[in-house]
Structure 1
Amino acid sequence: MNKVLFDIEALRQGDREVFEAIYNEFSDMLYHLCMEYLHDATIAEEIVQDAFVKLWDVREGVRDDLSLRNYLYTITKNNCLMQIRKEQTLIKSKKELKYIEMQFNYEAMAAMADDVLQFDELKSRIDEAIEALPDKLKEVFILSRFDELKYKEIAEQLDVSVKTVEVRISKSLSILRNELKDYLPVIYLMTFILS
């Protein structure tokens, strides 16, 4: 695949146009991977930049048969894992529920193979599972995980108590975990669900 799309020898020689083409091909995919897990545009951009800096640093040793897509994906995934661990350490004493959700997020990402095709397939399966949630649960879940509203904001918007929002989020996560439990080895795959 790399031989068709990119001149690997030119990359090894430091050809910036080839490197830029590689960046343009994969940067959006890597950025979205980071955002699915971290929900922080600044950190996501930094992690993506780091992946390409590492590729540039090792360019002279890049083999012809190396999958650039999977190489960049693996670096990005590992840096996301480190970031999640760092955030877990910072918040563990503050919000136990948030810590538990981040632990599921970490386990899900760590269990993923270093193959972007698995990520795409799993993301599609998760989208289907979310769509199948009961309406009230799905509504709260989407406001929390996609619109990034705080529980209090959701409660005000829907005219329900914060406790009701918490219960609905908890039920949503329980259903989703059950729906996805047999899908590949990733038992706790919640990807972008767990913010």
Structure 2
Amino acid sequence: MAQINFNSIYTAYYRKAFLFTLSYVHNDLVAEDIVSEAIIHLWELSKEREIPSVEAILITYIRSKSLNYLKHIQAQENVFQTLLDKGQRELEIRISTLEACDPKEILSEELRAKVHALLESMPEKTRIAFIHDRLDGKSHKEIAEELGISVKGVEYHISRAVKMLRDNLKDYAPFLFFFI
């Protein structure tokens, strides 16, 4: 049994095998690993038996390892694409849901009734300051002049109203930012 010298296998076949492998796997490090494994496999095989065709064994081994690598990459890409598709679908659902959202329907009649009842239960200056600020869009100075109080007084009444609404409507928290 004639064992093949490792250096002679390496010298004769490494460069061609590397370029062949690289043309499929498109990764230098992976190609180096596959070819090195193939040459070691061939050398160890030559210790056990006569090798009739070195090229055939190298090509077969490289083909098998390269296919395994490419199938692994394909599986990773499929998983990535599935996750990307799922994320895309979720994003499309969120966009269509938001586009279909009618702001008038967000504040249900029940919530409107609670807000109205809370506003009615507030002291007069607190209620008026809040309504003029949040609903009428008046400046704090304008509200102060109308109520005959200071701008700081207006700020106090508005923050008091906001606190009352926030405390009493905590179950409706996601919708409150539209109103408060």
TM-score of the superposition, structure 2-length normalised? 0.42
Higher helix share: 2
Structure with larger Rg: 2
State the TM-score, normalized to the length of structure 1.
0.39
